A and B are shown apart, each in its own frame.
Chain A
Amino acid sequence: QKEVEQNSGPLSVPEGAIASLNCTYSDRVSQSFFWYRQYSGKSPELIMSIYSNGDKEDGRFTAQLNKASQYVSLLIRDSQPSDSATYLCAVKPAGGTSYGKLTFGQGTILTVHP
């Protein structure tokens, strides 16, 4: 089993719809969870972080975390063509030796069509 697994893509949604991106992780003691966005041929950029169970909203983006189910998701409301990118889920394990050691999922390609 992969340590961090994302729903297989590509995911295609119409403009204005809600895009739902999912991620599961295997290390039960993981504490911190992140979503990075990567445009084609470019480098990733951090767009959301979440540490506690529940929802965290930032503009059109909502991150959801369920530690009991080892599940984190990203919802994008009112999707725009500019949201078309690869979304990477990243997990930071707990513990003092985990400094900087993010584990990334394989990414989900999102396409928002007009």
Chain B
Amino acid sequence: DGGITQSPKYLFRKEGQNVTLSCEQNLNHDAMYWYRQDPGQGLRLIYYSQIVNDFQKGDIAEGYSVSREKKESFPLTVTSAQKNPTAFYLCASSPWEHDYEQFFGPGTRLTVL
């Protein structure tokens, strides 16, 4: 089945630790995205990547880092510099020609203890 997978589903982190969230897609999509969702709020764009080895900051990139070494993979690292990392993180991908038609993974719920 084609789709987007994210792991882990739930993640607990101690303050001061970096954590990496995994995102893999087998839809052959060129573009990939990371969003953050807080309770009662919409999605906010963290980073996005249109092609391999290239990515751009979104609206709330501070405290996060990404890499895009393979077309299928777009991991997100939440660093200790992110002041309020507890949130629901969603990865998405889209075909190049329809960047608005974003397919989302199941999400990772990160909790900082």
Contact = CB atoms under 8 A, between A and B. Distances in A.
B69 interface: no
B43 A100 contact: no
Given A99-B99, A100-B94, A45 B104 contact: yes
- Chain B interface size band reads 20 to 34
Contact of A101 (B58, B101, B107): B58
Contacts of A104: 42-44
A88 B44 CA distance: 12
B106 A100 contact: no
A42 B45 contact: no
Contacts of B90: 43-44
B100 A42 contact: no
B11 to A, nearest CB: 15
A22 to B, nearest CB: 15
Contact of A46 (B48, B58, B101): B101
B67 interface: no
B78 interface: no
B101 A100 contact: no
A100 B107 contact: no
Nearest to A6: B42
5 contacts: A43-B90, A100-B99, A100-B102, A102-B45, A104-B43
Interface of A: 4, 32, 34, 42-46, 49, 88, 90, 92, 99-102, 104-107
